């Protein structure tokens, strides 16, 4: 998060920087605690922009190659469990949503135990 941002604001900014999309956040889906840090997963709706046109440093090669490369891809929700996604519990949540809808309230997952 940038200074002064809350998690929702960060998700909106990062969606634009990394994906080239303008989004509105509908609600929090999950909060994951991993190595003492909180990670937030939101249900968002695209309101504008063009997918794949992000200009953040991750997308424009401003980070050293050992940090990896980034290529945004759309994929059906039902295929998320077939890729290596961390934490696996988020992949399960997304995969279940493809079949039965998103959970009514946010899920909290603690991986520090």
Question: How high is the mean pLDDT in each 10-residue block of the chain (113 residues)?
Answer: 90 94 96 91 96 83 72 83 83 84 90 73
CATH code for the structural domain at 7-110? 3.90.79.10
CA gap 6, 43 in Å, rounded: 16
pTM, entire model: 0.82
pLDDT given at position 113: 60
CA gap 28, 44 in Å, rounded: 9
pLDDT given at position 57: 79
């Amino acid at each position: 998060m940038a200074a002064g941002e809350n998690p929702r604001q960060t998700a909106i900014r990062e969606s634009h920087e990394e994906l080239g999309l303008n989004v509105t956040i509908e609600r929090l889906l999950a909060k994951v605690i991993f190595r003492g840090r909180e990670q937030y997963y939101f249900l968002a709706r695209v309101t504008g922009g063009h997918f794949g046109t992000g200009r953040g440093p991750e997308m424009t090669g401003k980070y050293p190659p050992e940090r990896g490369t980034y290529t945004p891809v759309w994929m059906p929700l039902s295929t998320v469990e077939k890729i290596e996604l961390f934490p696996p519990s988020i992949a399960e949540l997304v995969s279940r949503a493809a079949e039965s809808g998103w959970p009514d309230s946010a899920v909290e997952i603690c991986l520090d135990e």
